[in-house]
Amino acid sequence: MGVRKKERAEQIKEAKAQVAFAKLNNCPTSPRKMRLVADLVRGKKVELALNILRFSQKEASRKLEKLLLSAIANWQAKNAEASLEEAGLFVKEIRVDGGMMLKRLRPAPQGRAHRIRKRSNHVTIVLGENNNTQSN
């Protein structure tokens, strides 16, 4: 491995150590429905995001709440000595990508068939620390 490549790899590794993230793969909800809920918490503080997800009526909010709790636990595992309240964690990035699609056939009149696409998605939550006190 060359020197520049090795230095760049070390920089990327250090940058990843600063943030905490969690991934949910092949969640059996359509990406469009999940994005509606993800847009509610993007950029919010962690406490506020948890409250929004806890009291939302949508089914996707239950899965996002569990994923956010997992990301918080990952952050606490990296920063055992730091406290959650003083860190000022917020949802830095949340991505919802399309996952695999189950293709099914539904019978239709006159011997025809319609294709049903059961969509799934991949969700990634990245938490960032905010040392400044902002109100979101």
User: How far apart are the C-alpha atoms of 113 and 104, rounded to whole Å?
Assistant: 10
Write down the pLDDT at residue 15.
78
Residues in the chain: 136
pLDDT value for 78:
86
Alpha carbon distance 36, 99 (integer Å): 17
**111, part of any domain:** yes
Does 14 map to a domain?
Answer: no
Is residue 37 one of the residues assigned to a domain?
Answer: yes
Nearest to 34, CA basis, from 8, 65, 3? 65
Predicted pLDDT at 88 = 86
Total domain count, the chain? 1
Does some domain include residue 54?
yes
**So what's the pLDDT on residue 132?**
61
Residue 78 lies in a domain: yes
pLDDT at position 116: 96
The confidence score (pLDDT) of residue 14 equals 83
Q: Residue 57: which CATH number? A: 3.90.470.10
Dihedral over alpha carbons 46, 78, 70, 100 (to 10 degrees): 110
**Lookup result for tokens 């909010």:** 61
Check: CB of residue 35 under 8 Å from CB of residue 119: no
Q: Examine residue 89 and state whether it is found in any structural domain, yes or no.
A: yes
Q: Residue 114 is part of which domain span?
A: 19-129
Predicted pLDDT at 131: 64
Mean pLDDT in runs of 10 for the chain (136 residues)? 90 81 95 97 95 96 96 90 84 95 96 96 92 54
